C-alpha cells in the first residue's frame, strides 16, 4: 500500500497541556489527516514526575512512522528525561524514526543543557529541526556561522535531515545527498512546515528530488 498523509502515523512525547512543539506538530499533522497520539502524564500538569516505567513504548510505537520529541523535554526532570531517552531507544527497536525539535526552553539559559542532551542522542535522530529562536545561540556554542550551522550539525552528527528556517518563509534542509532551500507560504509556521514535511517524506520518493518535493509540499497551505 502506498503511503499518503492519511496513512502516516506519528507518536509524540510532550506536556499534558499541549503547550509545546511536539504537540503543535501533532496537531498540524492531524489536520493533514495523519494518525497521531501524544504520550504524556495525564495525571499532572507537567512531566517532571511522569511514571516513565509505566509507559509501554512498544505498544505506542508499533507501526508508527515517526516519533516526535523536543530537546527541551529532556529538562523536565529526571523521570521525564528517562522517558525521553527510552522513547528513542524503543523507536529504533520498533522501526520508527525520530524527529527532534531543538526549541528554546522556558528558561533560555538552559539551552546549552538541552542542546547537550540532544547531542548525546544525535545518532538516533532522523530529522532534526533547529528552531529559528535557537539558531544564534547554537551557532555561538558550536563556533560556526548561522549560515553553516545546519550543514555542520548534519556532518558532525550524521543526521539524515537537518532543517531550519534561515529566514522568514525560507527553510533549508541539509541531507545526506545535498542541500535544498524552499520558500513557504507566509502563514506557514515552523511546526506546521515540519508536520507537512514528515507527512510527505515517506511518499515523496528517494534521493534529493524526494527531499525537495516533501519540503516544497510542506510549505503550501492545505
- Going residue by residue through the chain, which has 222 residues, state the pLDDT in tens, using 9 for 90 and above: 345 666 899 999 999 989 999 999 999 999 999 999 999 987 777 788 788 888 999 999 999 999 999 999 999 999 999 999 999 999 999 999 999 999 999 999 999 999 999 999 999 999 999 999 999 999 999 999 988 999 999 999 999 999 999 999 999 999 989 999 999 999 999 999 999 999 999 998 878 999 999 999 999 876
Domain that holds residue 203: 5-218
Q: How many domains does the chain have?
A: 1
CB hemisphere CA count around 197 (13 angstroms): 28
- Residue 23 main-chain phi, psi, to 5 deg: -65, -40
Whole-number pLDDT of residue 1: 38
Q: What is the pLDDT of residue 194?
A: 98
| Residue with grid cell 528525561, as numbered in its chain | 81
Residue 28 CB: number of other CB atoms within 10 A? 22
pLDDT at residue number 3: 59
Task: Give me the pLDDT at residue 144, please.
Answer: 94
Q: What CATH code is carried by the domain that includes residue 32?
A: 3.40.1190.20
- Cα separation, 222 vs 219, in Å, equals 9
Amino acid at each position: 500500500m502506498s503511503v499518503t498523509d492519511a496513512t502516516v502515523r506519528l507518536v509524540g512525547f510532550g506536556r499534558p497541556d499541549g503547550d509545546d512543539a511536539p504537540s503543535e506538530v501533532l496537531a498540524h499533522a492531524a489536520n493533514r489527516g495523519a494518525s497521531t497520539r501524544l504520550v504524556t502524564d495525564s495525571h499532572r500538569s507537567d512531566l517532571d514526575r511522569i511514571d516513565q516505567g509505566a509507559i509501554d513504548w512498544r505498544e505506542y510505537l508499533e507501526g508508527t512512522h515517526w516519533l516526535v520529541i523536543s530537546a527541551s523535554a529532556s529538562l523536565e526532570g529526571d523521570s521525564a528525561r528517562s522517558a525521553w531517552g527510552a522513547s528513542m531507544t524503543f523507536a529504533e527497536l520498533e522501526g520508527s524514526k525520530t524527529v527532534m525539535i531543538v526549541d528554546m526552553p522556558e528558561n533560555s539559559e538552559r539551552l546549552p543543557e538541552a542542546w547537550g542532551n540532544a547531542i548525546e542522542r544525535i545518532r538516533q535522530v532522523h530529522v532534526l529541526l533547529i528552531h529559528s529562536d535557537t539558531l544564534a545561540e547554537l551557532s555561538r556554542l558550536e563556533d560556526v556561522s548561522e549560515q553553516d550551522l545546519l550543514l555542520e550539525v548534519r556532518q558532525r552528527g550524521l543526521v539524515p535531515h537537518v532543517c531550519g528556517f534561515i529566514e522568514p518563509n525560507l527553510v533549508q534542509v541539509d541531507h545526506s545527498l545535498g542541500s535544498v532551500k524552499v520558500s513557504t507560504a507566509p502563514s506557514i509556521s515552523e511546526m506546521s512546515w515540519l508536520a507537512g514535511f514528515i507527512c510527505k517524506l515517506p511518499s515523496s520518493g528517494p534521493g534529493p528530488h524526494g527531499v525537495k518535493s516533501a519540503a516544497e509540499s510542506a510549505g503550501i497551505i492545505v
